[in-house]
Every structure is written in structure tokens, then in C-alpha cells.
Amino acid sequence: MNNDRLISMANQIADFFQSYPEAEAVEGVSVHILKFWDPSMRRGIFAHLNTGGAGLKPLTVKALQHLAETQSNLSKSA
């Protein structure tokens, strides 16, 4: 899937959660991406984030960073 589509999809999820308190919104976007995106989609959006994340909304960026930290902490404790 191309970056433009991944960016659009991730931002749409963030738009849904925008009215939630920030911590809940970050968690909601993170959980959605973890549960419903296949690994290749997640790799693609993280690769885009790691090259600057152009086009990603601030909530999307926070959620992806949160997801990356959560996944990193899980792998360290395993």
C-alpha cells in the first residue's frame, strides 16, 4: 500500500478520536492501528514516520510514537 493511502487512513482514525481527551485519543488510535492494520501497513507507516512523517496530523504522530514505545517495551520484557 502506498504512503499516501496509509497517511490518509491513519489521519482518518485520528480524526475520529480527535474529540476524546488526548490520552484516550492517543491510546485509541494506537490500539486501532495495532489491532486492525496488518504488519506490512504498520511497517509502512512507521517507515514514513521515521523519514519525517510529512502529512501526518499531530495526534497521528503521537499515537504512532506511543505505539512504537509500547511495542518496544513489550519486546524488552519478553
- What is the CB-side half-sphere exposure of residue 42 using CA atoms within 13 A? 17
Q: Give, for all 78 residues of the chain, the pLDDT tens digit.
A: 899 999 999 999 999 999 999 999 999 999 999 999 999 999 999 999 999 999 999 999 999 999 999 887 766 655
Using the 8-state DSSP alphabet, how is residue 37 labeled?
S
Q: What is the pTM of this model?
A: 0.91
Nearest-angstrom CA–CA distance, 7 and 5 = 5
